[in-house]
Structure 1
């Protein structure tokens, strides 16, 4: 898999120079930025196939940058951090990152992670292209054309609003959607302190599609941010 463009965001110049050598050896192009704001500017004008984000950076750190990117972009993201605590890993993955590598790291390990994420992303896109009318997430299947939803083969009766809500989460699989983003997309009107409306519909949807609504398999809560489908 050659000819892809990777954006690496890190304020350590030596790391950027080192990874540029390894990335070029794989036949890829490496774009670099020293903080999140610079990365966002690059993404406005360049198509990028994968993003590597350091957590600790000036101006805008990796966590905030990841959240901003995920508002409109599902490009694979690998987080880098000198911190090894589990809570840092959870924080990075919960806001939309696809993988996490702890510094100091082996360049060869990072290259392997890059290859893995690019393969996974290509497979997901290929599956989506083959069947635009159907979305499958484990045992949950949505047919967009018929508005039919099944879980483990059993049909689930949803209201049109519940289907639109589930569909919005499903097509943004892996991304954390805020309350206002969900409301704007599903209700198609400005968000006006409508958190309760979203929460009530999420609760009803979970009661229909989840085996245990208290420990949901599909619709996950990301506390303080919103919801996502894993």
Structure 2
């Protein structure tokens, strides 16, 4: 069966060009101009990957991305005329896997689509084999539901925050370097600064004030087992 790509772009010229290039690669493509129509497709047809514009009429791409991430980890490639770093960070923090600034080469987009589809295909056995429930002290993660609890209360976390918690809680007391966390959480294709890791940790500490998330100075971070001595 052909892999299925959902394309959300309100500019008809860009939409037609991208759709044509993707179909030439043998991909099944459904192209729509609004996030509302895309959401109907998400609920009924479950594409293997999304190519998503940010500036859309009605619901914008950021909100659509956030909604998708509430129930799915399917790859999302954001395409946008917004090229400020803050826009890219926001898109990635809300769950985007890649960010391409307009104008872009359709061939480059196709290359990224194929790379993320291949990665997604490889990840499926891993996703199904992961332990669904991870506990570390007062932290509880339900991996399948992407829900986090601390001190018996549910905590609202972003996709990246959850993934950071999952990685650290899966290997308690192990020190992870910033570079390693950057690759594990954001992926090998992310070219931003490792300050993104520090910012993510800062937000987790703010949401879970007593979480034993320690800084390993000059290196990275670890989640400490409170039963272990420092």
Bin of the TM-score, shorter chain as denominator length? 0.5 to 0.7
Q: Give the distance between the partners of 2:207 and 2:102, measured in 1 at CA.
A: 41
Secondary structure of 1:116's match?
A: helix
Quote the RMSD (CA, aligned, Å): 3.1
In the superposition, relative to structure 1, how do residues 201 and 65 fare at CA in structure 2: closer, same or farther (>3 Å)?
closer
In the superposition, relative to structure 1, how do residues 199 and 8 fare at CA in structure 2: closer, same or farther (>3 Å)?
same
Kindly report which structure 2 residues correspond to 1:156-195, keeping only aligned pairs within 5 A, or say none: 158-159=136-137, 161-162=138-139, 164=140, 167-168=141-142, 182=148, 187=153
Q: Give the distance between the partners of 2:37 and 2:56, measured in 1 at CA.
A: 11
In the superposition, relative to structure 1, how do residues 38 and 217 fare at CA in structure 2: closer, same or farther (>3 Å)?
farther
Shift in Å at residue 216 of structure 1? 7.4
Alignment partner, residue 196 of structure 2: none
Q: Give the distance between the partners of 2:26 and 2:66, measured in 1 at CA.
A: 29
Gaps of 5+ in 2: 155-203, 224-230
Cα deviation code 1:81-111 (max 9, x no counterpart): 1121111111110111000000011110000
In the superposition, relative to structure 1, how do residues 91 and 19 fare at CA in structure 2: closer, same or farther (>3 Å)?
same
Cα deviation code 1:11-43 (max 9, x no counterpart): 011111112211111111111111111111111
Shift in Å at residue 202 of structure 1? 2.6
Alignment partner, residue 103 of structure 1: 102
Secondary structure of 2:56's match?
A: coil
Alignment: residue pair count: 172
Gaps of 5+ in 1: 136-143, 150-157, 189-197, 220-230
Secondary structure of 2:104's match?
A: coil
Q: Give the distance between the partners of 1:200 and 1:87, measured in 2 at CA.
A: 21
Cα deviation code 1:43-78 (max 9, x no counterpart): 111121000110111011111111111111211001
Alignment partner, residue 73 of structure 2: 74
Secondary structure of 1:89's match?
A: helix
Q: Give the distance between the partners of 1:29 and 1:65, measured in 2 at CA.
A: 21
Kindly report which structure 2 residues correspond to 1:138-217, keeping only aligned pairs within 5 A, or say none: 144=133, 158-159=136-137, 161-162=138-139, 164=140, 167-168=141-142, 182=148, 187=153, 202-205=208-211, 207=212, 209-212=213-216, 217=221
Cα deviation code 1:109-166 (max 9, x no counterpart): 000110111122222223334x444x8xxxxxxxx5xx6x7xxxxxxxx33x42x2xx
Alignment partner, residue 192 of structure 1: none
In the superposition, relative to structure 1, how do residues 57 and 125 fare at CA in structure 2: closer, same or farther (>3 Å)?
same
Alignment partner, residue 45 of structure 1: 44
Secondary structure of 2:118's match?
A: helix
Give TM-score, length-normalised by structure 2: 0.64
Kindly report which structure 2 residues correspond to 1:215-226, keeping only aligned pairs within 5 A, or say none: 217=221
Secondary structure of 1:45's match?
A: helix
Q: Give the distance between the partners of 1:203 and 1:212, measured in 2 at CA.
A: 18
